[in-house]
Amino acid sequence: MTVTTPAPQTLRTVPAELVVLDMAGTTVRDDGIVERAFQRAAEVTGVAARMSWDDAIAYVRETMGQSKIEVFTHLSGGDRAKATEATSAFESAYEELIAELGVEPIPGAEETLRRFREAGLAVALTTGFSPVTRDAILRQLDWASLVDVALSPVDAGRGRPFPDLVLASILRTGASSVASAVVVGDTASDVRSGRAAGAGLVVGVLSGAHDRETLDAAGADQVVTDVTALPELLGLDDAS
């Protein structure tokens, strides 16, 4: 898939109204659960049988943040039925793993979300997971009161790196403009989605899948260690 992304902006020109954050790797600790769920799904369905496992997992890592069914469609060589089967197997495996191992926020993420709420910012969580997987995570974290909306690709149209999840978040929360949105994620796909949407600020975080070089190359305005740096970056710590 090809998405044309505008050149990075260097300054936020309007006040932030909405923060759009990715889940796994950005606000939610992954600890390899996504890869383990992919492996279980691949073993059960044979979705990646046409390639070596090393090549398959390399592609999974490269496309972290994208819609899971699109990733499986590529792995299956375009077989949508097989991809749908694998996506269902992935969802079941992921739910089993988080039930077994538990799911935790990135350290400081919950406090950061609360800080956004206190500052009057709307909060959207977006993910490449299906609503079933997304909601299982949110239930375990008990984050319903901390977010205005949580969206999966099926809720928006297309997944990342397309702009749909960001634009849907803006529409759902009533933000006044795309320039008032801050997009935050740990993958190149998150960054490209924010760039394609025309968000006022796109921030990469180093708590998940991709490194600084990858996030910079995707067009991040800023790259920070994790989401706990965001209040200061947005000037919230100056408001007192």
The CATH number of residue 231's host domain is: 3.40.50.1000
Residue ending a domain, among 71, 101, 131, is 101
- Count of domains in the chain? 2
Which tens digit of pLDDT belongs to each residue from 77-123?
888 888 888 888 888 888 888 888 878 899 999 999 999 999 999 99
Write the DSSP symbol of residue 120. T
With a cut of 90, say whether residue 69 has pLDDT above it: no
Q: Please, what sign has the CA dihedral across residues 19, 228, 14, 184? A: negative
Q: Is 0.75 surpassed by the pTM of this model?
A: yes
Q: Find, among 200, 190, 196, the residue nearest to 227 by Cα.
A: 190
User: Which residues, other chains included, contact 6 with Cβ-Cβ below 8 Å and sequence gap of 6+?
Assistant: 195, 196, 198, 219
Q: Which of 73, 101, 129 is the last residue of a domain?
A: 101
My answer on whether 155 and 166 are in the same domain is yes
For 41, other C-beta atoms within 10 Å of its C-beta total 25
Range of the domain at 68: 33-101
Coil/strand/helix, residue 185: strand
User: Distance (Å, rounded) from C-alpha 87 to C-alpha 100?
Assistant: 20
- 64 domain residue, yes or no: yes
